[in-house]
Chain A
Amino acid sequence: MARDKRSLRTSDLASRISKAKGKRGAVRFADKVRRNEMSGVGRAYRLATEFIAAIIVGAFLGWGIDSLLGTMPFGLITLLLIGFAAGVVNVVRAARDINAAAPIPDQTGPMADDDEDD
């Protein structure tokens, strides 16, 4: 009987803990961190690296194809251009993720309007 009572109390505690955890603590902290990241430099850095990385990868792929096939400037030129396009795609996706994770903060002022057209 005593044991029954104790296990009952334990499961009650477990359910209360899980209820309290629901949407608090870690989740809210994560939201806070995410909103912080998207202010200013963090946002700029994210977009910049997404853009540049695609261009570099495109250029390297083009150069590799060229040195394999001996078609020197053409692969490089084509894939560099495609890399630019991929960079733009990356930036648009990253911006969409940023906006989805955190609605536009008020502190950025009038510039914030630019993000809305996707």
Chain B
Amino acid sequence: MAKDVIKNPIDPIYQFEITNYYTFGEIGGDGGAGTGIEFAFTNSALFMVLTVGLIASFLILSTRGRGLVPGRMQLLSEITYEFVANMVRTNAGTEGMKFFPFVFSLFMFILVANMFGMFPYFFTVTSQIVITAALALLVFGVVVVYGFYRNGLKFLGLFVPKGIHWVILLLVTPIEIISFLSRPLSLSLRLFGNMLAGHIVIKVFGGMTVALLSAGFWAPVAILPFVMIIAMTGLEFLVSALQAFVFAVLTCIYINDAIHPSH
């Protein structure tokens, strides 16, 4: 492997590289080095810890006063609470409020992780498919487990639309099953794709700016990709917030399916 090529900071993929800060050890394998699953504290793990730490400390500190007339920071955390609570109520009904803590944690984690990713030199946790897939599978697991817990076998009614002739049902049921199974995939792919694509585009324009600046006579042209970086950064902030919102809304819709499995 040409290590020095990969380590080139102008490379748009360089920002997604995982680096180990501290290796705990290996699990499994045949005892030889490099055969098991490596457990390490990476830059990705660091930023997940930072994300959770920021959310927790913000919420705890801002609501510590518990003023009847909220201060500025308390108002901010109350607005986020209201925002997510309204989202859960409109999409999953009042019964869905049981899952408010879950949706709120997901929303805040994705939002803050996305926003962290917008800082230069920061690692974007949500640009890793492992993370988004884990989140989506968590949602999927919650929906399936709660669906069966609450409705029993009636939960399978989700795959059998009512009022359809059984011949067509033979065709519709597999379609519904695949449609249901595709949810975690589309959920994780959307978040991952949006964050990955946006960050790569910004980095590509950044690389163009640097390359043009060193091009002598053509150096003034470097202003064009630089303007694009500014525009794309603005767009990325929007996309970061929207993807957190979309993820949370779809989670609510899926939870609604678990509560009311009939179409």
A residues lining the B interface (CB < 8 Å): 10, 13, 21, 25-27, 29-30, 33-34, 36-37, 42, 45-46, 49-50, 52-54, 56-58, 61, 79, 82-83, 85-87, 89-90, 93, 97
| Sample of 7 A–B contacts (CB below 8 Å) | A30-B90, A50-B182, A61-B181, A82-B178, A85-B175, A89-B175, A97-B253
CA distance A21 to B89 in the complex (A): 15
For A49, what are the chain B residues with a Cβ–Cβ distance below 8 Å? 186, 189-190, 193
User: Are B68 and A57 touching (Cβ within 8 A)?
Assistant: no
User: Are A89 and B179 touching (Cβ within 8 A)?
Assistant: yes
> What 10 pairs between A and B have smallest CB-CB spacing?
A53-B186, A86-B178, A53-B185, A54-B182, A53-B182, A26-B82, A86-B179, A26-B83, A49-B186, A57-B182
CA distance A34 to B249 in the complex (A): 10
CA distance A118 to B200 in the complex (A): 37
CB contact between B175 and one of A30, A34, A45, A82 (< 8 Å): that residue: A82
Quick one: which of A21, A52, A79 has the most chain B CB within 10 A? A52
For B183, what are the chain A residues with a Cβ–Cβ distance below 8 Å? 53
Apart from A30-B245, A85-B175, 5 more pairs, CB < 8 Å: A33-B242, A42-B246, A53-B185, A54-B179, A54-B182
Min CB distance, B243 to chain A, in Å? 9
For B246, what are the chain A residues with a Cβ–Cβ distance below 8 Å? 37, 42, 46
Interface of B is mostly: helix
CB-nearest residue of chain B to A61? B178
CB-nearest residue of chain A to B79? A26
Category for how many chain B residues contact A: 20 to 34
User: Are A45 and B82 touching (Cβ within 8 A)?
Assistant: no
Which residues in window 244-263 of B have CB below 8 A to A?
Answer: 245-246, 249, 253
Is B238's CB within 8 Å of the partner chain A?
yes
Is B112's CB within 8 Å of the partner chain A?
no
Which residues in window 144-193 of B have CB below 8 A to A?
Answer: 174-176, 178-179, 181-183, 185-186, 189-190, 193
For A93, what are the chain B residues with a Cβ–Cβ distance below 8 Å? 179
CA distance A89 to B68 in the complex (A): 49
CA distance A87 to B185 in the complex (A): 12
CA distance A82 to B178 in the complex (A): 8
For B179, what are the chain A residues with a Cβ–Cβ distance below 8 Å? 54, 86, 89-90, 93
